[in-house]
């Protein structure tokens, strides 16, 4: 390959910020969102779990999906992926996905790193990656699906050289951070337009959280990321914009730094106390942050 491994996936450079930083009803102004979700509803076994979720994912960088435990974050990303029955609108670059089954959502170019990572512990790193390869030429048939082509190992190995060095190592023997590299690496392999990462730092030690933050920052240089996360320090560092869910609805959309600096709003929406360290500190970047930046674990209170 002669071109940069980033070239096939890097989004248009013009769009940097997402929706306007005020309310849930604010329209996107600066740039068209990559993913636009409207009135998303999910009913499982007669239980109404999502009652109308609206949010946009910015076409560059990291967008965070936040909320207290049980707010509906995982159900929302599962609904986007077609893993639970849903109604409403889910548009990826203008293509409507809400009636598509999961395999066609995937072929439209959404890579999903689920909460449990989905790593095969008994297979090597290389085998885990190989299993994620989408067949060249496979598409949704709609003409607007994910870009077909060879798997982008150049990008994965450029971002995560460790995965090349550890190609023969059993995935089950990797650290939590390295396993996240495999999980995120798999989503980058198929030239996706969007990566969804569901709680990638859940249960990890602070040192590993810092590693995973670095993994996400590097991945977001290549492909926009929708990040479900409860570690608000990490969110603050990585995500330029966010949506907050509460009780299965969108309670807030806007600029992440503004939300986390607003003590009253952060307390009301996320349960962050007034003396929480997130109230101060440097502004987060939509662009990836410094590798040296510390990541403080700050779980949302239920
Ligand atoms: N299959 C299901 N059947 C019944 N209830 C469900 C199902 N899936 C989710 N729920 C309920 O829906 C609500 C939202 O769950 P969800 O996992 O989406 O929340 P969350 O915001 O991701 O929470 P957490 O941060 O704790 O992971 C919860 O009350 C949960 O118990």
- The pLDDT score that the predictor gives to residue 278 is 53
Q: What is the mean pLDDT of the chain?
A: 80
263 and 279 Cβ atoms separated by less than 8 Å = yes
Strand partners of residue 91: 36, 96
Query: Does ipTM come in above 0.85?
Result: yes
Ligand 1 atom nearest the C-alpha of 75 is 18
* Residue 47, ligand 1, Cβ within 6 A: yes
**168 to each of 122, 208, 277, how far by Cα in Å?**
11, 22, 42
112 and 190 Cβ atoms separated by less than 8 Å = no
Nearest CA residue ID for atom 12, ligand 1: 49
Ligand 1 atom nearest the C-alpha of 228 is 22
- The pLDDT score that the predictor gives to residue 275 is 54
Q: Which pTM value belongs to this model?
A: 0.80
Distance of alpha carbon 81 from alpha carbon 89, whole angstroms: 12
* Residue 67, ligand 1, Cβ within 6 A: yes
Ligand 1 atom nearest the C-alpha of 71 is 21
Ligand 1 atom nearest the C-alpha of 84 is 1
* Residue 72, ligand 1, Cβ within 6 A: yes
Instruction: Give residue 41 CA to ligand 1 midpoint distance, Å.
Output: 13
Of 50, 73, 78, 114, the one to substitute when testing ligand 1's pocket (max ligand atoms within 8 A of C-beta) is 73
Nearest CA residue ID for atom 24, ligand 1: 69
Rounded to an integer, the average pLDDT of 195-205 is 90
Ligand 1 atom nearest the C-alpha of 115 is 27
Instruction: Give residue 47 CA to ligand 1 midpoint distance, Å.
Output: 11
For 247-261, the pLDDT digits (tens) are 999 999 999 999 999
Percentage of the chain with pLDDT > 70? 75
* pLDDT score of 70 more than 60: yes
For 124-146, the pLDDT digits (tens) are 999 999 998 875 544 433 333 33
Instruction: Give residue 109 CA to ligand 1 midpoint distance, Å.
Output: 25
Where is mean pLDDT largest: 189-203, 206-220, 246-260?
246-260
For 13-48, the pLDDT digits (tens) are 333 333 333 333 344 445 789 999 999 999 999 999
Nearest CA residue ID for atom 16, ligand 1: 72
* Residue 75, ligand 1, Cβ within 6 A: yes
Domains of the chain, CATH where assigned: 39-279 (3.40.50.300)
* Residue 44, ligand 1, Cβ within 6 A: yes
């Amino acid at each position: 390959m002669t071109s940069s491994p980033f070239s096939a996936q890097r989004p248009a450079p013009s769009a940097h910020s997402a929706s306007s930083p005020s309310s849930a009803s604010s329209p996107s102004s600066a740039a068209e969102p990559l993913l636009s979700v409207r009135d998303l509803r999910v009913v499982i076994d007669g239980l109404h779990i999502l009652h109308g979720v609206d949010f946009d994912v910015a076409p560059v960088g990291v967008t965070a999906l936040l909320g207290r435990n049980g707010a509906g974050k995982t159900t929302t990303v599962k609904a986007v992926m077609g893993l639970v029955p849903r109604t409403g609108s889910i548009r990826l670059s203008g293509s409507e996905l809400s009636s598509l089954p999961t395999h066609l959502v995937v072929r439209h170019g959404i890579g999903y790193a689920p909460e449990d990572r989905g790593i095969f512990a008994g297979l090597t790193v290389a085998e885990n990656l190989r299993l994620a390869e989408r067949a060249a030429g496979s598409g949704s048939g709609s003409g607007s699906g994910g870009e077909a082509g060879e798997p982008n190992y150049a990008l994965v190995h450029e971002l995560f050289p460790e995965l090349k060095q550890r190609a023969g190592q059993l995935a089950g023997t990797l650290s939590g951070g390295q396993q996240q590299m495999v999980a995120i690496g798999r989503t980058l392999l198929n030239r996706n337009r969007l990566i969804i990462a569901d709680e990638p730092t859940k249960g990890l030690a602070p040192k590993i959280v810092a590693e995973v933050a670095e993994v996400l920052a590097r991945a977001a240089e290549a492909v926009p990321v929708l990040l479900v996360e409860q570690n608000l320090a990490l969110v603050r560092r990585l995500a330029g914009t966010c949506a907050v869910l509460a009780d299965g609805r969108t309670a807030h959309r806007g600029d992440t730094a503004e939300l986390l600096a607003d003590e009253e709003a952060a307390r009301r929406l996320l349960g962050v106390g007034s003396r929480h360290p997130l109230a101060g500190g440097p502004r987060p970047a939509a662009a990836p942050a410094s590798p040296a930046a510390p990541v403080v674990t700050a779980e949302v209170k239920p």
